[in-house]
Amino acid sequence: MTAMPPESPLRFDIVTLFPDFFTSALQSGLLGKALARGIASVNLVNPRDFTTDKHHKVDDEPYGGGVGMLMKPEPIFAAVESLPVYPRREVILLTPQGETMTQPLFRTLNTTLDQMVLICGHYEGVDERVRHLVDREVSLGDFVLTCGEIPALTLINGVVRLRPGTVGKADSLKFESFEADLLDYPQYTRPAEFRSWSVPAVLRSGDHGAIAQWRQAQQIERTRRRRPDLYKTWQRQQNADDPQ
């Protein structure tokens, strides 16, 4: 492995059996524009290219029996070890057993790393010894998918959108769901009247102070109703910031 200079841009290396999965997604929308502008880069590496048998076998039956197949360790190790090593790097395994993706996690990865190596699992998972390569395990949620490519793409999208230059108005990142342990407030655009629904009068008043108060009240109430768990976190933070 070759050491890389600390000034290198954020790099994602995706260890995947299906590189074509990412083709369209990495060229679309704000993510595609960010990658085209060099805000971050994505490199795809296929473990199958590192197999040594004539059938390019990347999976095998689990010892002890069981349903399904496991990804073999050798191709994954070889794929990861073929990559350059940036100064601040983490190897991340996408697995239902990992910590759940959250906005604070995206912020941490964005500010502390130069390189993320994302290992996408398949079948019934990966050989346990692959975890010796791994610095962090991350999950999209408490459910099981057919592949690790979907959570890998989610992680890339969530981190890259925090990079300067990805989102046109940087202030918009400050006022959205989860940035202050609250969900986003309701938003409206023209027309002011649509069918039987009207835009709240306060939003048309031009009174920016009243608008800010209305939006915060909406955030608090929406979070209380839809995400009681998040609301409790917000309440605890408010009490910690303002002890009486």
Q: Could you give the C-alpha distances from 243 to 157, 168, 209, 234, 238, in angstroms and in order? A: 37, 38, 26, 14, 8
pTM of the model: 0.86
* 10-160 placed in CATH 3.40.1280.10: yes
pLDDT value at residue 123: 85
**Tens place of pLDDT for every residue, the chain, 244 residues?**
555 443 458 999 999 999 999 999 999 999 999 999 999 999 999 999 999 999 999 999 999 998 899 999 999 999 999 999 999 999 999 999 999 999 999 999 999 999 999 999 998 899 999 999 999 999 999 999 999 999 999 999 999 999 999 986 555 555 555 567 899 999 999 999 999 999 999 999 999 999 999 999 999 999 999 999 999 999 999 998 876 6
- Per the structure block, which two tokens stand in for 28? 């679309």
d(CA 49, CA 58): 10
Rounded-to-integer distance, Cα 214 and Cα 207, Å: 11
pLDDT for 241: 81
- Residue (of 7, 15, 16, 9) closest to 35 by Cα position: 9
* Distance, CA of 71 to CA of 22 (rounded, Å): 20
Strand partners, 40: 10
Return the domain boundaries, the chain: 10-160, 175-241
Per CATH, the homologous superfamily of domain 175-241 is tRNA(m1g37)methyltransferase, domain 2 (1.10.1270.20)
